[in-house]
Amino acid sequence: MTPLEEFSVKCERIRDLMDTKGVVAIILSRRSNFAWLSGGGRNYVVSSSEGGVGSLVVTPENVYVLSTNIENHRFLDEELAGLPVEGLSYPWHQTKGQPEGALQNVVAGSFIGGDGAGWDLDLSAELVKIRYPLLPPEVDRYRSLGEATASLMSEVCTSLRPGVSEVETAAQLERACTERGLEAYVRLIAFDDRIDKYRHPIPTIKELESRAMVVLCAREKGLIVNLTRMINLKPVDSDLRRRHEACCRVDAVCNLASRPGVTLSDIFDQGVKQYEAEGFHDEWKLHHQGGTTGYEGRDYFGNPDASQTLTAPSAVAWNPSIRGTKSEDTFLVTEEGVENLCESKDWPQIRSKTELGNLNRPDIFEL
């Protein structure tokens, strides 16, 4: 499938949504949706922003990129090259009423939908749904991203030594991502007692003594992979070993249960039952368990009321945790089963055996 064919299929999905909702155009401003439609284009300047400085405007006949004159030519030259997208710009110093005025020149009518609250109809939820199933080029990009991210994680984690700080490790992750053309979307790092205390450990100046948890969410061309690695600089004691193996079995159950047509609530319930079987009844209450991923860190979270149904191909990132440990990779959901996009062939594995089958999960690396 060529980039143009991918673009055409996605435009068709958007136009079907337009017909269903009765809107004359749909505006994509979130960087996730911009990247999805454009095959990986970037519409942001501030990297921490999920909004953009340019929007894709889809009408029944055409697609436009709407922005100030500062951005428009670069979008067309670099982010949308080869795609049938026309420029639609307005002066950067005359923003009052200008975007709406520019739209009036190409949109026949006034009932417009978009991926935010600023339009006549907020179609944010509907746009998430039509991003799936993933197309073959997206699956290829996802596999490439997962392989690169797993590799750099192993590189950074196995270089850890006593005295390095959490923020230094975060900087190493940032550099490793940047060198490969990836964005370090989320970096969570905890050393020693902080692993036991915090499920979302923002890096600090704390220096490593003997235990580390490193979490990375990396983004490339809009797609995101999520993974966690556990490291010990001394032998793993029996209590931590018991907790980590239990956590891996919960993770294995959630991933093996991730099949097309299954609801997230059903998968979540199976994970909770596995926690109970392992003797850790309430650990799931201390942190979210993950869910579907793709162009957002999580599109939907698994919980007792999550009615969303998995499609194939799509992606999930479950992340069960038990005090002192965690298990997480990003898996591709297919008709044949799940595929680990972040499989680390150079990382020790646990063969987690469950009633749903067996699955390799990353062990604690003893350096």
Query: What is the pLDDT at residue 108?
Result: 78
Which of 109, 130, 151 is the endpoint of a domain? 130
Q: How many domains does the chain have?
A: 2
Rounded CA gap, 222 and 291, in Å?
18
Give the pLDDT confidence of 233-282 residue by residue, as tens digits: 999 999 999 999 999 999 999 999 999 999 999 999 999 999 999 999 99
Assign residue 51 the CATH number of its domain: 3.40.350.10
Residues 156 and 232 grouped into a single domain: yes
Residues 329 and 220 grouped into a single domain: yes
Structural domain of 125? 3-130
Query: What is the pLDDT at residue 48?
Result: 80
Residues 173 and 121 grouped into a single domain: no
The encoded tokens of residue 353 equal 């055996």
Which of 97, 130, 163 is the endpoint of a domain? 130
How confident is the chain (367 residues) per 10-residue block, as mean pLDDT? 97 98 97 98 89 95 95 96 96 77 82 93 97 98 98 98 98 98 97 97 98 98 98 97 98 98 98 98 97 97 97 98 98 97 95 97 97
Give the strand pairing for 300-301 and 54-58.
unpaired
Assign residue 148 the CATH number of its domain: 3.90.230.10
- pTM equals 0.95
Give the pLDDT confidence of 336-364 residue by residue, as tens digits: 999 999 999 899 999 999 999 999 999 99
Query: What is the pLDDT at residue 204?
Result: 98
Residues 193 and 121 grouped into a single domain: no
User: What is the DSSP code string of 273-300?
Assistant: HHHHHHT-TTGGGGS--EEEESSSS-SE
Residues 333 and 225 grouped into a single domain: yes
Which of 130, 161, 192 is the endpoint of a domain? 130
**In 3-state terms, what secondary structure has residue 145?**
helix
Residues 126 and 140 grouped into a single domain: no
Query: What is the pLDDT at residue 301?
Result: 98
